[in-house]
Amino acid sequence: MNPIVIQTIQFFMSLSLLIVLHELGHFIPAKLFKTRVEKFYLFFDIKYSLFKKKIGETVYGIGWLPLGGYVKIAGMIDESMDKEQMQEPPKPWEFRSKPSWQRLIIMLGGVTVNFILAVIIYIGMAYAYGDQFIPTESLKDGVWVTEENIGDKLGIQTGDKILEVDGNKVENFNSLFLEIVNGNSITIERDGQIIEMEIPVDFIATLLEDEDKVRFLSPRVPFIVGAIPEVSANKNSGLKINDLIVAVGNDQMTYFDEAKAVLEKYTGQETVLTVERDGRREQIPVVISDSATIGVNLGSLTYDEMEKRGFLRLETKKYSFAESIPAGIDKGVTTLTGYVKQLKKIFNPETGAYKGVGGFAAIGSMFPDTWNWPAFWNTTALISIILAFMNILPIPALDGGHVMFLLYEMISGRKPSDKFMEYAQMTGFFLLIALLLFANGNDIYKAIFK
């Protein structure tokens, strides 16, 4: 199956689940407080529905426009903008007739469910799969900066040991990239010297210039022969695929990133490579080209194989069901905190992070292009947290806007007028449309010009 098709299917599966559960978060407390729910929709039903059925007092349906979903609660100014209903005297079953604390619970229900769902997913992931990661301290010879221009912008070189970001010890190499993106300062060890540097305020903009190169840090890898092209001068030298090159002439070499400097010493010469093959060392006569290359492609080792050869250490942590609960909660809180930090940078024009804001294509690309259930659920949990936070922002037309006005009412004892709420709802709606156009416009720009 086409990778894009797989991502699209996963995107709609995840989106549908999150929307239905979010709206259930409003629906259930509304019904508990005897508030009439007139509609419950997955996606928007502008002009017509793909499916609808009335059960009791509620019409359940699926719309054709996949921009979200909604529940239409009687006596509430929402995206339906039902002004006629609001002009009639309040009915006991209407939202506006309920005490403010009940209305607050109804409005907070959606974001609460989204966050709880993410935590439940993280709990399940911890229990089922545990955590496997590379301890940063196990990279005894530091990191490999695969994109030197990005490393130069940050001030990091191959061989540096990354110790802290914002004064916090970096224990998990797998999370290092996000910590740097969200951070303000970084502490490294270089040649035995401790160096603390500020992360450039526009570092995110540098990463966004070429998104294929954003993963600019890697564990240092050995020089494994991956393939020997037919046109290579060393095709018949005796080199074999999966040979590990450990020396060129008299110069020892541990990592691939050392190869360029070593090979330049032998440019245009015949020399001998020392390789490890099947547990023993062999010497292979080769010719080094005028461009200081051997004429082979770099191969790769899995992290398990690199661990066996002593290049890094993998740490696996398993959780009992009881242990997975606090682990899942901690992952949910950590993810939310990290997202808030990213959002702060997006709203700071100096960072250039706004250029990375994406729409549906960007969200869809977060899913794996193969059927990978752990990755699917991990991405779904992340999006659920994003939806929870975005929905609670105090913007009219979002849950957070309604919560803001309800808190004002509870504190002041005065209820905003229906006319004010109508104008606020319209303002918020146009603001969201503008954000939607900007985000998806960014996707289109990247697809065409990058």
Q: What average pLDDT does this structure show over 364-386?
A: 85
How far is Cα of residue 177 from the mean position of the Cα atoms in its chain? 11
Both tokens assigned to 274: 């020392």
CA torsion sign for 342, 347, 348, 354 is: positive
Question: Which residue type is seen at 308?
Answer: K
Does residue 138 have a pLDDT over 70?
yes
**What are the pLDDT digits (tens) for 273-296?**
999 998 899 999 999 999 999 999
**What are the pLDDT digits (tens) for 113-137?**
999 999 999 999 999 999 888 999 9
pLDDT value of position 436:
66
Both tokens assigned to 419: 């006319």
Residue owning tokens 């682990």: 327
Q: What are phi and psi of 369, to 5 degrees?
A: -90, 15
Q: Give residue 431's pLDDT band: very low, low, confident or very high (50, 70, 90).
A: confident
Query: CA separation (Å) from 63 to 46, 114, 433?
Result: 7, 21, 18
Please enumerate in sequence order all residues whose Cβ is within 8 A of that of 119, keeping only pairs 6 or more positions apart, or say none: 328, 329, 331, 332
Phi-psi region of 441 (alpha: psi -120 to 50; beta: other; left: phi over 0): alpha
The H or E element containing residue 432 is helix 418-449
What value does the CA radius of gyration of the chain take, rounded to a whole number of Å? 28
pTM (two decimals): 0.81
Query: CA separation (Å) from 346 to 247, 294, 341, 354, 356?
Result: 47, 45, 9, 5, 8
Both tokens assigned to 309: 């050869």
Residue 194 in 3-state DSSP?
strand
Both tokens assigned to 400: 């957070």
pLDDT value of position 395:
83
Q: With beta carbons less than 8 A apart as the criterion, state whether 72 and 39 touch.
A: yes
